[in-house]
Structure 1
Amino acid sequence: MLRRYGDPVRPGQRYTFRPGIYALIHRGDEVLLTFQAQPRAEFQFPGGGIDPGEHVRPALHREVLEETGWRIAPERRLGAFRRFTYMPDYGIWAEKICHIWLARAIRPLHPPTEPDHTAVWLPAREALSLLDNAGEAAFLAAWLSR
Protein backbone atom coordinates (compact mmCIF):
# COMPACT_ATOMS: atom_id res chain seq x y z
CA MET A 1 0.00 0.00 0.00
CA LEU A 2 1.41 3.37 -1.03
CA ARG A 3 1.15 6.34 1.28
CA ARG A 4 -1.16 9.05 -0.03
CA TYR A 5 -0.34 12.74 0.23
CA GLY A 6 -2.45 15.74 -0.65
CA ASP A 7 -6.16 16.01 -1.26
CA PRO A 8 -8.47 13.10 -0.44
CA VAL A 9 -10.21 11.17 -3.20
CA ARG A 10 -13.34 13.00 -4.33
CA PRO A 11 -16.36 10.67 -4.25
CA GLY A 12 -17.75 10.12 -7.76
CA GLN A 13 -14.75 11.74 -9.46
CA ARG A 14 -13.16 9.69 -12.25
CA TYR A 15 -9.35 9.72 -12.20
CA THR A 16 -6.90 8.97 -14.99
CA PHE A 17 -4.02 6.76 -13.85
CA ARG A 18 -0.78 8.71 -14.36
CA PRO A 19 2.57 7.19 -13.29
CA GLY A 20 5.40 9.67 -12.97
CA ILE A 21 9.04 9.85 -12.00
CA TYR A 22 10.71 12.63 -10.01
CA ALA A 23 14.26 13.29 -8.85
CA LEU A 24 15.71 14.51 -5.60
CA ILE A 25 18.89 15.90 -7.15
CA HIS A 26 21.70 16.83 -4.82
CA ARG A 27 25.06 18.59 -4.94
CA GLY A 28 26.56 18.76 -1.48
CA ASP A 29 23.92 20.29 0.81
CA GLU A 30 21.99 21.82 -2.08
CA VAL A 31 19.13 20.38 -4.11
CA LEU A 32 17.97 21.22 -7.61
CA LEU A 33 14.31 22.14 -7.86
CA THR A 34 12.29 23.40 -10.75
CA PHE A 35 10.20 26.52 -10.31
CA GLN A 36 7.08 26.26 -12.45
CA ALA A 37 5.51 29.68 -12.98
CA GLN A 38 2.28 28.52 -14.70
CA PRO A 39 -0.48 27.49 -14.27
CA ARG A 40 0.30 28.04 -10.56
CA ALA A 41 3.65 29.21 -9.22
CA GLU A 42 5.35 26.40 -7.29
CA PHE A 43 8.67 24.77 -6.48
CA GLN A 44 8.83 21.04 -7.18
CA PHE A 45 11.14 18.11 -7.78
CA PRO A 46 12.03 17.90 -11.47
CA GLY A 47 10.08 15.15 -13.16
CA GLY A 48 6.81 14.22 -14.74
CA GLY A 49 4.81 11.54 -16.49
CA ILE A 50 6.22 8.30 -17.77
CA ASP A 51 5.04 7.94 -21.36
CA PRO A 52 3.34 4.67 -22.42
CA GLY A 53 6.05 2.13 -23.28
CA GLU A 54 8.82 4.33 -21.84
CA HIS A 55 11.24 2.80 -19.37
CA VAL A 56 11.77 4.44 -15.97
CA ARG A 57 15.38 5.63 -16.28
CA PRO A 58 15.02 7.20 -19.75
CA ALA A 59 11.85 8.94 -18.49
CA LEU A 60 13.77 10.30 -15.50
CA HIS A 61 16.59 11.65 -17.68
CA ARG A 62 14.14 13.15 -20.21
CA GLU A 63 11.98 14.88 -17.61
CA VAL A 64 14.92 16.31 -15.64
CA LEU A 65 16.57 17.56 -18.82
CA GLU A 66 13.32 19.19 -20.04
CA GLU A 67 12.62 20.91 -16.72
CA THR A 68 16.15 21.87 -15.62
CA GLY A 69 18.57 21.46 -18.53
CA TRP A 70 20.81 19.31 -16.30
CA ARG A 71 22.30 15.89 -16.93
CA ILE A 72 22.05 13.63 -13.87
CA ALA A 73 23.31 10.29 -12.58
CA PRO A 74 20.50 8.36 -10.90
CA GLU A 75 21.76 6.72 -7.70
CA ARG A 76 18.80 4.74 -6.38
CA ARG A 77 15.05 4.60 -6.08
CA LEU A 78 13.86 6.09 -2.78
CA GLY A 79 10.24 4.98 -3.01
CA ALA A 80 6.86 6.16 -4.24
CA PHE A 81 3.67 7.83 -3.09
CA ARG A 82 0.17 8.37 -4.42
CA ARG A 83 -1.74 11.58 -4.88
CA PHE A 84 -5.11 12.46 -6.36
CA THR A 85 -5.10 15.85 -8.03
CA TYR A 86 -6.39 18.00 -10.84
CA MET A 87 -3.81 18.56 -13.60
CA PRO A 88 -4.69 21.89 -15.24
CA ASP A 89 -2.01 21.45 -17.95
CA TYR A 90 -3.94 18.41 -19.22
CA GLY A 91 -7.46 19.25 -18.02
CA ILE A 92 -7.77 15.93 -16.15
CA TRP A 93 -8.20 14.58 -12.64
CA ALA A 94 -5.36 12.14 -12.07
CA GLU A 95 -4.37 9.37 -9.72
CA LYS A 96 -0.63 9.95 -9.73
CA ILE A 97 1.87 7.35 -8.62
CA CYS A 98 5.01 9.40 -8.00
CA HIS A 99 8.26 7.39 -8.08
CA ILE A 100 11.11 9.26 -6.37
CA TRP A 101 14.76 8.70 -7.28
CA LEU A 102 17.87 10.10 -5.65
CA ALA A 103 20.23 11.53 -8.28
CA ARG A 104 23.51 13.37 -8.48
CA ALA A 105 23.89 16.46 -10.65
CA ILE A 106 26.48 15.98 -13.41
CA ARG A 107 26.41 19.16 -15.51
CA PRO A 108 24.09 21.71 -17.08
CA LEU A 109 23.56 21.23 -20.81
CA HIS A 110 21.11 24.04 -21.63
CA PRO A 111 18.30 26.10 -20.11
CA PRO A 112 15.04 24.26 -19.39
CA THR A 113 13.03 23.52 -22.53
CA GLU A 114 9.74 23.08 -20.65
CA PRO A 115 7.79 26.36 -20.84
CA ASP A 116 7.57 28.41 -17.63
CA HIS A 117 10.20 26.28 -15.81
CA THR A 118 13.37 27.56 -14.15
CA ALA A 119 16.08 25.41 -12.56
CA VAL A 120 16.89 26.59 -9.03
CA TRP A 121 19.65 25.38 -6.69
CA LEU A 122 18.69 25.85 -3.03
CA PRO A 123 20.04 24.78 0.35
CA ALA A 124 18.12 21.56 1.09
CA ARG A 125 16.60 22.90 4.33
CA GLU A 126 15.32 26.00 2.55
CA ALA A 127 13.93 23.86 -0.27
CA LEU A 128 11.99 21.83 2.28
CA SER A 129 10.00 24.91 3.28
CA LEU A 130 9.28 25.84 -0.35
CA LEU A 131 8.02 22.52 -1.74
CA ASP A 132 4.28 22.64 -2.32
CA ASN A 133 3.88 18.88 -2.69
CA ALA A 134 3.69 17.15 0.72
CA GLY A 135 4.93 13.85 -0.72
CA GLU A 136 8.07 15.44 -2.16
CA ALA A 137 8.61 17.32 1.11
CA ALA A 138 8.38 14.03 3.04
CA PHE A 139 11.06 12.43 0.85
CA LEU A 140 13.32 15.47 1.18
CA ALA A 141 12.84 15.51 4.99
CA ALA A 142 13.75 11.80 5.16
CA TRP A 143 16.85 12.43 3.03
CA LEU A 144 17.88 15.33 5.26
CA SER A 145 17.59 13.16 8.36
CA ARG A 146 20.01 10.55 6.97
Structure 2
Amino acid sequence: MIRRYGESVRPDMRYRRRPGVYAILLRGPDILTTFQEDPTPEFQLPGGGIDRGEHPIAALHREVIEETGWIIGGLRFFSTFRRFAYMPEYDLWAEKLCAIYVARPARRIGPPSEPGHTAVWMPAVEAVDRLGNAGDRAMLARLLSASR
Protein backbone atom coordinates (compact mmCIF):
# COMPACT_ATOMS: atom_id res chain seq x y z
CA MET A 1 0.00 0.00 0.00
CA ILE A 2 1.33 3.43 -0.95
CA ARG A 3 1.12 6.04 1.80
CA ARG A 4 -0.95 9.15 1.05
CA TYR A 5 -0.03 12.66 2.19
CA GLY A 6 -1.80 15.99 1.90
CA GLU A 7 -5.36 16.80 0.97
CA SER A 8 -8.15 14.29 1.36
CA VAL A 9 -9.69 12.81 -1.76
CA ARG A 10 -12.68 14.85 -2.87
CA PRO A 11 -15.49 12.48 -3.90
CA ASP A 12 -16.92 15.09 -6.29
CA MET A 13 -13.68 15.29 -8.32
CA ARG A 14 -12.34 13.03 -11.04
CA TYR A 15 -8.57 12.59 -10.63
CA ARG A 16 -6.13 11.71 -13.38
CA ARG A 17 -3.18 9.55 -12.35
CA ARG A 18 0.05 11.50 -12.79
CA PRO A 19 3.29 9.53 -12.14
CA GLY A 20 6.34 11.58 -11.26
CA VAL A 21 9.90 11.26 -10.00
CA TYR A 22 11.62 13.46 -7.43
CA ALA A 23 15.10 13.65 -5.92
CA ILE A 24 16.50 14.21 -2.47
CA LEU A 25 19.85 15.81 -3.33
CA LEU A 26 22.13 15.87 -0.29
CA ARG A 27 25.64 17.27 -0.04
CA GLY A 28 26.91 16.99 3.51
CA PRO A 29 24.29 18.51 5.82
CA ASP A 30 22.66 20.49 2.99
CA ILE A 31 19.98 19.73 0.42
CA LEU A 32 19.46 21.20 -3.05
CA THR A 33 15.83 22.25 -3.49
CA THR A 34 13.97 24.18 -6.13
CA PHE A 35 11.95 27.25 -5.25
CA GLN A 36 8.90 27.55 -7.51
CA GLU A 37 7.27 30.98 -7.78
CA ASP A 38 3.89 29.98 -9.28
CA PRO A 39 1.18 28.96 -8.73
CA THR A 40 2.13 29.08 -5.02
CA PRO A 41 5.61 30.14 -3.91
CA GLU A 42 7.21 27.11 -2.24
CA PHE A 43 10.34 25.04 -1.84
CA GLN A 44 10.13 21.59 -3.43
CA LEU A 45 12.16 18.49 -4.07
CA PRO A 46 13.32 18.81 -7.69
CA GLY A 47 11.40 16.58 -10.07
CA GLY A 48 8.12 16.29 -11.85
CA GLY A 49 5.91 14.37 -14.20
CA ILE A 50 7.06 11.56 -16.45
CA ASP A 51 6.20 12.27 -20.09
CA ARG A 52 4.44 9.58 -22.14
CA GLY A 53 7.03 7.04 -23.32
CA GLU A 54 9.79 8.53 -21.13
CA HIS A 55 11.81 6.31 -18.79
CA PRO A 56 11.45 7.44 -15.15
CA ILE A 57 15.22 7.86 -14.66
CA ALA A 58 15.50 9.96 -17.83
CA ALA A 59 12.58 12.06 -16.56
CA LEU A 60 14.31 12.60 -13.23
CA HIS A 61 17.54 13.75 -14.90
CA ARG A 62 15.58 16.10 -17.18
CA GLU A 63 13.47 17.57 -14.39
CA VAL A 64 16.43 18.15 -12.05
CA ILE A 65 18.38 19.95 -14.79
CA GLU A 66 15.34 22.05 -15.73
CA GLU A 67 14.53 23.03 -12.13
CA THR A 68 18.03 23.39 -10.63
CA GLY A 69 20.63 23.49 -13.41
CA TRP A 70 22.47 20.55 -11.83
CA ILE A 71 23.49 17.14 -13.21
CA ILE A 72 22.99 14.30 -10.74
CA GLY A 73 24.57 10.90 -10.18
CA GLY A 74 24.53 7.94 -7.82
CA LEU A 75 20.76 7.47 -7.96
CA ARG A 76 19.08 4.99 -5.67
CA PHE A 77 15.37 4.43 -5.22
CA PHE A 78 14.12 5.41 -1.76
CA SER A 79 10.32 5.30 -1.51
CA THR A 80 6.97 6.19 -3.05
CA PHE A 81 4.01 8.22 -1.87
CA ARG A 82 0.88 9.63 -3.41
CA ARG A 83 -1.08 12.80 -2.99
CA PHE A 84 -4.25 14.21 -4.47
CA ALA A 85 -4.02 17.80 -5.64
CA TYR A 86 -5.31 20.37 -8.05
CA MET A 87 -2.64 21.39 -10.58
CA PRO A 88 -3.65 24.88 -11.76
CA GLU A 89 -0.91 25.02 -14.40
CA TYR A 90 -2.66 22.10 -16.14
CA ASP A 91 -6.22 22.78 -14.88
CA LEU A 92 -6.17 19.19 -13.64
CA TRP A 93 -7.14 17.29 -10.52
CA ALA A 94 -4.39 14.70 -10.16
CA GLU A 95 -3.52 11.63 -8.17
CA LYS A 96 0.22 12.21 -8.07
CA LEU A 97 2.26 9.01 -7.68
CA CYS A 98 5.62 10.28 -6.47
CA ALA A 99 8.70 8.03 -6.71
CA ILE A 100 11.51 9.41 -4.55
CA TYR A 101 15.18 8.83 -5.32
CA VAL A 102 18.25 9.82 -3.37
CA ALA A 103 20.99 11.18 -5.60
CA ARG A 104 24.20 13.16 -5.52
CA PRO A 105 24.31 16.64 -7.05
CA ALA A 106 27.36 16.15 -9.28
CA ARG A 107 27.87 19.37 -11.21
CA ARG A 108 26.12 22.66 -11.86
CA ILE A 109 25.84 23.30 -15.60
CA GLY A 110 23.93 26.59 -15.43
CA PRO A 111 20.85 28.25 -14.04
CA PRO A 112 17.48 26.46 -14.07
CA SER A 113 15.91 26.54 -17.53
CA GLU A 114 12.34 26.20 -16.25
CA PRO A 115 10.79 29.65 -15.77
CA GLY A 116 9.93 30.57 -12.21
CA HIS A 117 12.35 28.08 -10.63
CA THR A 118 15.44 28.88 -8.56
CA ALA A 119 17.96 26.40 -7.16
CA VAL A 120 18.30 26.87 -3.40
CA TRP A 121 20.69 25.13 -1.02
CA MET A 122 19.60 24.95 2.61
CA PRO A 123 20.34 22.80 5.66
CA ALA A 124 18.43 19.54 5.25
CA VAL A 125 17.08 19.74 8.80
CA GLU A 126 15.60 23.16 7.93
CA ALA A 127 14.10 21.80 4.69
CA VAL A 128 12.09 19.24 6.69
CA ASP A 129 9.96 22.19 7.82
CA ARG A 130 10.18 24.37 4.70
CA LEU A 131 9.32 22.00 1.85
CA GLY A 132 5.92 22.84 0.42
CA ASN A 133 4.15 19.50 0.62
CA ALA A 134 3.73 16.98 3.40
CA GLY A 135 4.98 14.05 1.30
CA ASP A 136 8.29 15.76 0.49
CA ARG A 137 8.74 16.69 4.16
CA ALA A 138 7.97 13.14 5.33
CA MET A 139 10.36 11.52 2.84
CA LEU A 140 13.23 13.84 3.81
CA ALA A 141 12.57 13.37 7.54
CA ARG A 142 12.51 9.60 7.09
CA LEU A 143 15.80 9.63 5.18
CA LEU A 144 17.49 11.87 7.73
CA SER A 145 16.32 9.75 10.69
CA ALA A 146 17.50 6.55 8.95
CA SER A 147 20.98 7.99 8.43
CA ARG A 148 21.54 8.88 12.08
In 2, the alpha carbon distance for the partners of 1:130 and 1:11 equals 30
> Map of 1:59-74 to 2, 5 A cutoff?
59-74=59-74
CA distance in 1, matches of 2:11, 2:59: 32
Scaled by the length of structure 1, the TM-score of the pair is: 0.98
Q: How many residues align?
A: 146
CA deviation vs aligned residue, 1:7-41 (integer Å, no higher than 9, x gap): 01001210111000000001111000000011110
Q: Equivalent residue for 1:93?
A: 93
Q: Which runs of 5+ in 2 are unaligned?
A: none
Q: 1:31 maps to what in 2? A: 31
- Map of 1:82 onto structure 2: 82
Structure 1 outlier segments of 4+, above 6 Å: none
TM-superposed deviation, 1:74: 3.8
Aligned-residue sequence identity (percent) comes to 59
Name the structure 2 match of 1:102: 102
Determine the C-alpha separation between the residues in 1 that align with 2:136 and 2:90.
21
Q: 1:56 offset after TM fit, Å?
A: 1.1
Tell me the C-alpha RMSD between the 2 structures: 0.7
The 8 Å contact of residues 74 and 101 in structure 1, kept in 2 or not, is answered as no
Amino acid of the residue matched to residue 129 of structure 1?
Answer: D
